[in-house]
Amino acid sequence: MVRLAQDEQDMLEGKEGPAKQKAMELLVKYAEALGAERFIDTNNVTIIPGSIPGTEIIQKVVPSLDADEIASKFLLDSDQTVVLDRVKAFTTTNATFRDQRYPEIQIGGKSFCDVLRKMVDYFKRVGIIHLATCTPYQVGNIPAKGEHCAWTESSAIAFCNSVIGAYTNIEGLHSSFASAITGKTPLWGMHLDENRLGKVIVDVEIDMEMIREWYLMGYYVGGELGLDVPIYTNIKRVPDLTRLMALCAAGISSGSIVKFHIVGITLEAPTIEIASGKRKNVRILKFGKKQREKAYGKLNHSNKDDVDIVVLGCPHYTLERMGTVARMLEGKKVHENTRLYVTTCHMIKSLADKMEFTETITKAGGLLLEDTCGLSLDADPSKVFASDSAKLVHYAPGSTGLKNTWFGTTEECIQAAITGKWRGELR
Amino acid sequence: MKKITLRGRKVYGGSVEGEALVTKESLGGFGTFDLKTGIVIDFSHEWLGKSISGKILVFRTGRGSSAWTIAHQALRFTGRSPKAYLIKENNPQTALGAVVARIPSMTDFDQDPTKVISTGDWVKVDADKGIVEITRQ
């Protein structure tokens, strides 16, 4: 049984109003489901409300589409509608919103764009910052090492734990929204130091210069492990932001890696001994050419080399990638049979506008989308899809119905966009 | 008919019986199944083409997107929920998923449920008592 502190008991008894009461009720059920013994304070929460199911399901449950009722039923799992005044914790939103400029190309069309716009107004009203990104750490939500957070968005969770060294479990929409309202999260899992130690050593045998290899390594290891924390060893090159984002995104797409260590590089892993807590008999996994090929084969399954759709920017593109892509597209034209989409958040797009990256991409025939996700694109399932993100390629079939997918480097994707043909290979 | 009993811990209370659908793999949420039908659409999943609706699901743990619980809650709204989750390794996705799906769920078993239970077995789950009774078909 979970033990409650006085302030938690007060919220549960409704002394601080019905919204906090419902939030605390949900957190208590969740803590008991986990087997947590108590809660810890949090003042850093990210929520993922853009992923609520489409208008048809929402309207079935909330015919009026009233924002308070949608928030109560879909975000807080409360049958009773509660009106929230303000959230207690510092809270930001994740991606999978819609780019309101182009409703027709995104799943759910105008009606879902309208529902989400209404929800954005609701978030502003209750004091949630609308960052609209799967990479909050790029644009103003960077916790400190050791800070207790309640984050959603799988790749950001892996980044928060592994790269930043802050503490978060893989929260869902409902628990994170309840944490935003109460400022509490169960003291369980990644919030406890002993669970952050590595249990499996990954011996990296190949050169890790290319971004693609970081995706393939995460994708392979994610598929091999359950909930264990891996320790990557023998990486001689310090990865940059894009490479770390790739490793985070891939390992939690094929699997459940919410935290990893890279010996000599990430904060909690100065040595193997410290990263593993001197654990004996750790399992050893190899990442060499054969393993890389296995991951590559799982992601590339198209019988046609004509490419119809190229999507870049999952997780949301960095300024470095945006500049690189703009340079690659300078003076070029996207093929008439191919669509090129680049996705990021409105803050990075605003800089891309000022740097004229947006203009270059648009002139070449590409489209820079904000706050949305490649998985929100309304695509004909018979089309051929290519991306430089293993995460996007992994989820595309289930989310959009696209069956023919190619995964490769950013250069290969841009070439495919220009020529309309896939020429990628694993060299 | 052979009967086997497993003991474990309640994740979410209640009792139910039904047919088991078992995988040694983990289970996703977002992009894994169609929310309106409960049919698995993830090409990489062993259950591709099968419906999880009305089944006792037996699997390793939760994986993938943190929109997991949104998808499992949505099945309740569309009337396509599974009957129970029997989870080998409970994680925040499966724990919260059980709470918002509001179906009996258990974990921390005395034996690996993905090995003991086979697809098609008739399974009685009493999560409050922590008992699962399996009848091999």
Complete domains list, chain B, with CATH: 3-135 (3.50.30.10)
Would you give the distance in Å from CA A322 to the centre of its chain? 18
Task: Return d(Cα A301, Cα A186) in angstroms, integer.
Answer: 41
Section A318-330 average pLDDT = 97
Q: How far apart are CA A286 and CA A295, in angstroms?
A: 13
* Helix%, strand%, coil% for chain B, nearest 5: 20, 30, 50
Beta strands in A290-414 (DSSP E): 309-312, 339-344, 367-370, 384-387, 404-407
Helix (H/G/I), strand (E/B), else coil: A160: helix
A256 vs B62: CB contact, 8 Å cut-off? yes
Residue A268 has pLDDT above 90, yes or no: yes
Q: Indicate the pTM of the whole model.
A: 0.96
Interface residue B101 vs chain A (CB under 8 A)? no
Cβ within 8 Å, pair A57-B78: yes
What's the mean pLDDT in A354-362? 98
- With contact defined as beta carbons under 8 Å apart, do A174 and A77 qualify? yes
Q: What is the number of other CB atoms lying within 10 angstroms of the CB of residue A347? A: 17
Q: Are A57 and B77 in contact (CB < 8 Å)?
A: yes
Q: CA angle, A301 as apex, B52 and B70 as ends, to 5°?
A: 35
Alpha helix stretches (DSSP H) within B11-125: 68-77, 92-101, 113-116
Asked if pLDDT for residue A367 goes beyond 80, the answer is: yes
What's the confidence (pLDDT) of residue A401?
Answer: 84
| Rounded alpha-carbon distances, angstroms, from residue A30 to A24, A342, B53, B101 | 10, 37, 23, 12
C-beta atoms of B90 and A33 within 8 A = yes
Query: Could you read off the pLDDT of A41-58 as tens digits, one per residue?
Result: 999 999 999 999 999 999
Angle at CA A315, nearest 5°, toward B89 and A115? 90
Say which DSSP state A54 is in.
P
| CA diameter of chain A | 65
Task: Write out the two tokens for A402.
Answer: 């696209």
CB distance from A71 to chain B under 8 Å? no
Q: What is the pLDDT of residue B44?
A: 81
- Pseudo-torsion of CA B3, B9, B15, B16, nearest 10°? -50
> Which chain A positions have a beta carbon within 8 Å of B47's beta carbon?
none
**What pLDDT does residue B2 have?**
82
pLDDT at A226: 86
What is the spatial distance between Cα A177 and Cα A151, in angstroms, rounded to a whole number? 10
On chain A, the residues whose CB falls within 8 A of the CB of B32 are: 398
- In chain A, which residue's Cα lies nearest the Cα of B104? A33
Query: Do A154 and A134 touch, CB atoms closer than 8 A?
Result: no
Which architecture, in CATH terms, is A300-419? 2-Layer Sandwich (3.30)
Distance from the Cα of A10 to chain B's closest Cα (Å) equals 22
CATH 3.30.499.10 maps onto chain A at: 300-419
> Would the pLDDT of A76 be above 80?
yes
Interatomic CA distance for residues B76 and B29, integer angstroms: 13
Query: How far away is chain A from the Cα of B31, in angstroms, using its nearest Cα?
Result: 4
pLDDT in tens, chain B (137 residues): 789 999 999 999 999 999 999 999 999 998 899 999 999 988 889 999 999 999 999 999 998 888 899 999 999 999 999 999 999 999 999 999 999 999 999 999 999 999 999 999 999 999 999 999 999 87
Q: Which amino acid is at A188?
A: W
Widest Cα–Cα separation across chain B: 41
Structural tokens at position B7: 């003991």
Average pLDDT over residues A290-308: 95
For range A208-236, the mean pLDDT: 96
**Is B60 in Cβ contact with A57 (below 8 Å)?**
no
* Best mutation target, B45, B65, B105, B107, to test chain A (most A CBs within 10 A): B65
pLDDT higher than 80, residue A415: yes
Report the residue from B42, B44, B66 with minimal CB separation from A172. B66
Average pLDDT over residues A133-162: 97
| CB-based contact, B16 to chain A, within 8 Å | no
Residues of A in Cβ contact (< 8 Å) with B105: 33
Residues 6+ positions from A362 with CB-CB distance below 8 Å: A368
Q: Does B39 touch chain A (CB under 8 A)?
A: no
Residues 177-216 of A with CB under 8 A from B: 188-189
The DSSP line for A229-279 is PEEEE---S---HHHHHHHHHHHTTSS-----EETTTSTT-SSHHHHHTT-
On whether the CB atoms of residues A208 and A189 are closer than 8 A, the answer is: no
Do A172 and B65 count as a contact with CB atoms less than 8 A apart?
Answer: no
Question: Is the CB of A375 inside 8 Å of chain B's CB atoms?
Answer: yes
In A367-409, where does DSSP find H-type helix? 390-400
Distance from CA of A356 to the nearest CA of B (A): 33
Chain A interface includes B98 (CB < 8 A): yes
Q: Which residues of A touch B73 (CB under 8 A)?
A: 74, 77, 174
ipTM surpassing 0.90, yes or no? yes
Residue A326 has pLDDT above 90, yes or no: yes
Q: What pLDDT is recorded for position A265?
A: 97
pLDDT for B135 = 96
Give A282's pLDDT tier (boundaries 50, 70, 90): confident
Instruction: Give the number of other Cβ atoms within 10 Å of residue A391's Cβ.
Output: 31
Residues B37 and B55: their CA atoms lie apart, in Å, by: 13
**Quick one: how far is CA A241 from the chain centroid?**
15
Mean pLDDT, residues A181-192 taken together: 98
Q: What positions of B carry a catalytic annotation?
A: 65
Q: At what angle do helices B92-101 and A173-182 cross, to 10 degrees?
A: 90
Chain A residues in contact with B13 (beta carbon < 8 A): none
Query: How far B92 CA lies from chain A's nearest CA (Å)?
Result: 6
Mean pLDDT of chain A: 96
Residue A169: strand, helix, or coil: coil
| CATH fit for domain A6-193, picks 1.10.150, 3.30.499, 3.30.70, 1.10.3470 | 3.30.499
Characterize A238-268 residue by residue with b for buried, 16 or more Cβ atoms within 10 angstroms of its Cβ, and e for exposed. ebebbbbbbbbbbbbbbbbbbbbbbbbbbeb
Of the candidates A60, A170, A375, which has its C-beta nearest B66's C-beta?
A170
Q: State the pLDDT at residue A427.
A: 83
Does B73 sit within 8 Å of A74, measured CB to CB?
yes
Task: Nearest chain A residue to B71 by CA: give it.
Answer: A53
B49–A contact, CB cutoff 8 A: no
Facing residue for A227 by CB, picked from B71, B89, B108: B89
